[in-house]
């Protein structure tokens, strides 16, 4: 079984992001970039499927600037077999990324596609679902457990009321939640091996996909600073404030 994993290059989760002075976007100059944590979980799940003998090949794909090769190399060091970069310097919408991934899926014909449920930069939570719609494959989003047996996959999903298990016919799309697994560290032997694994670079044009966006970013603003808390003297005062100031009761 071939598994396709999509990864995104994002600002490292440990970095405090700053908005550019002209409010045109987030300042990315000299900021540490990493693989999106949910995508790390997706890579880890694919590697575990391979280690359990369920998967035979892991192809990792990223859509983004040429520097996203760093994240693809990291995925290769974590255990993926080969990488594909769809190079685009533009900032792409979820739909454009999903269309590009659809083109890669058509080319690679994987049985299972694993994506992070969302990227920590834009927090859209859209690409996996859009890809499922475009390919017509079944989708198991927010996965906390993935079990492949025969030509189906059982995905336990984290939902508001608890957990839901869905059975999907392969090929299928799975998006990972936080508790699916704990990603491993790239070991030095695997870092050295990653250098020799193949990394193919494609362009949206070569895939025949238009990435034209219908969205335009008007303004980016930092969230308002949190104001200091206050101490209340009594429970009655607390209830009064919750009722009349916060208006939550």
Partner 1 sequence: MDFKLTEEQQMLQDTATRLVRDAYSFEAREHYAQSDAGFSLAFWQQLGELGLTAVPFPEDLGGFGGGGVDTMLLMTEFGRGLCLEPYVESVIYAGGLLMQLGSPAQQNLLQQVASGQLLLATAFEEPQSHYHLNDVQTRAEQTAEGWTLTGRKAVVIGGHQAGLILVSARISGDSRDEHGLGLFLVDPQAAGVERRTYPTVDGRKACDLYLDKVTVSADQVLGEPGQALAALRYQQGRAIAAQCADALGSMQEACRLTLDYLKTRQQFGVAIGQFQVLQHRMVDMRTELEQATSMAILAACYCDEAHSLERTRTLAAAKFIVTRAARNIAEQAIQLHGGIGMTWEYSLAHHAKRLVMLSHQFGDDDHHLKAYAALLDAA
Q: Token digits for 213?
A: 């966006």
CA distance linking residue 39 with residue 115, whole number of Å = 6
Residue 191 touches partner 1, criterion: CB under 8 A: yes
Of the candidate residues 160, 185, 214, 235, the single one contacting partner 1 (CB under 8 A): 185
**Nearer residue to partner 1 within complex by CB, 193 or 243:** 193
Whether the ω angle into residue 123 lies within 30 degrees of 0, i.e. cis, is: no
The size of the interface with partner 1 (CB under 8 A), counted in residues, is 16
Whether the ω angle into residue 176 lies within 30 degrees of 0, i.e. cis, is: no
Instruction: Give the gyration radius of the chain's Cα atoms.
Output: 21
Residue 188 touches partner 1, criterion: CB under 8 A: yes
Interface stretch with partner 1, choices 45-53, 57-65, 149-157, 185-193 (CB under 8 A): 185-193
Residues of this chain, 25-54, that bind partner 1 according to CB under 8 A: 34
Q: How far is the CB of 138 from partner 1 (least distance, A)?
A: 34
Of the candidate residues 120, 166, 186, 207, the single one contacting partner 1 (CB under 8 A): 186
Residue 229 touches partner 1, criterion: CB under 8 A: no
Q: How far is the CB of 185 from partner 1 (least distance, A)?
A: 5
Handedness of CA 97, 98, 101, 107 (dihedral sign): negative
Ranges of H-type helices in the chain: 37-51, 69-78, 94-108, 127-135, 188-194, 204-207, 235-244
Q: What is the Cα 98 distance to its own chain's centre? A: 12
Q: How far is the CB of 73 from partner 1 (least distance, A)?
A: 5
Q: How far is the CB of 188 from partner 1 (least distance, A)?
A: 3
Interface stretch with partner 1, choices 44-52, 109-117, 133-141, 180-188 (CB under 8 A): 180-188
Among all chains, which residue has been given the structure tokens 């192809």?
59
CA distances from residue 161 to 99, 124, 142, 144, 158 in whole angstroms, order as listed: 32, 22, 13, 14, 8
Q: How far is the CB of 162 from partner 1 (least distance, A)?
A: 29
Contact indicator for 164, 48 with CB cutoff of 8 Å: no
CA distance linking residue 76 with residue 7, whole number of Å = 11
**Nearer residue to partner 1 within complex by CB, 34 or 181:** 34
Q: How far is the CB of 123 from partner 1 (least distance, A)?
A: 22
202, β-bridge pairs: 86
Residues of this chain, 63-122, that bind partner 1 according to CB under 8 A: 69-70, 73-74, 77
Q: Token digits for 175?
A: 């998006």
Q: Which residues bind partner 1 (CB under 8 A)?
A: 14, 34, 69-70, 73-74, 77, 185-189, 191-192, 194-195
């Amino acid at each position: 079984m071939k598994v396709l994993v999509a990864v995104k290059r994002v600002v490292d989760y440990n970095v405090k992001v700053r908005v550019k002075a002209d409010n045109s976007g987030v300042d990315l100059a000299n900021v540490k970039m990493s693989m999106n944590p949910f995508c790390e979980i997706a890579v880890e799940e694919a590697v575990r499927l391979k280690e359990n003998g369920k998967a035979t090949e892991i192809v990792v794909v990223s859509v983004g600037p040429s520097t996203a090769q760093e994240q693809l190399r990291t995925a290769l060091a974590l255990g993926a077999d080969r990488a594909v970069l769809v190079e685009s310097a533009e900032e792409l919408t979820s739909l454009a990324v999903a269309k590009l991934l659809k083109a890669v899926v058509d080319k690679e014909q994987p049985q299972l596609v694993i994506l992070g449920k969302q990227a920590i930069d834009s927090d859209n939570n859209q690409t996996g679902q859009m890809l499922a719609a475009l390919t017509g494959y079944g989708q198991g989003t927010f996965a906390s457990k993935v079990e492949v047996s025969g030509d189906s996959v059982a995905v336990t999903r984290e939902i508001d009321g608890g957990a839901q298990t869905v059975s999907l016919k392969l090929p299928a799309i799975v998006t990972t939640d936080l508790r699916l697994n704990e990603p491993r560290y790239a070991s030095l032997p695997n870092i050295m091996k990653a250098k020799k694994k193949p990394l193919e670079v494609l362009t949206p044009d070569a895939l025949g996909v238009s990435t034209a966006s219908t969205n335009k970013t008007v303004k980016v603003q930092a969230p308002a600073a949190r104001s200091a808390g206050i101490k209340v003297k009594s429970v009655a005062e607390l209830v009064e404030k919750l009722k009349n100031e916060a208006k939550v009761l």
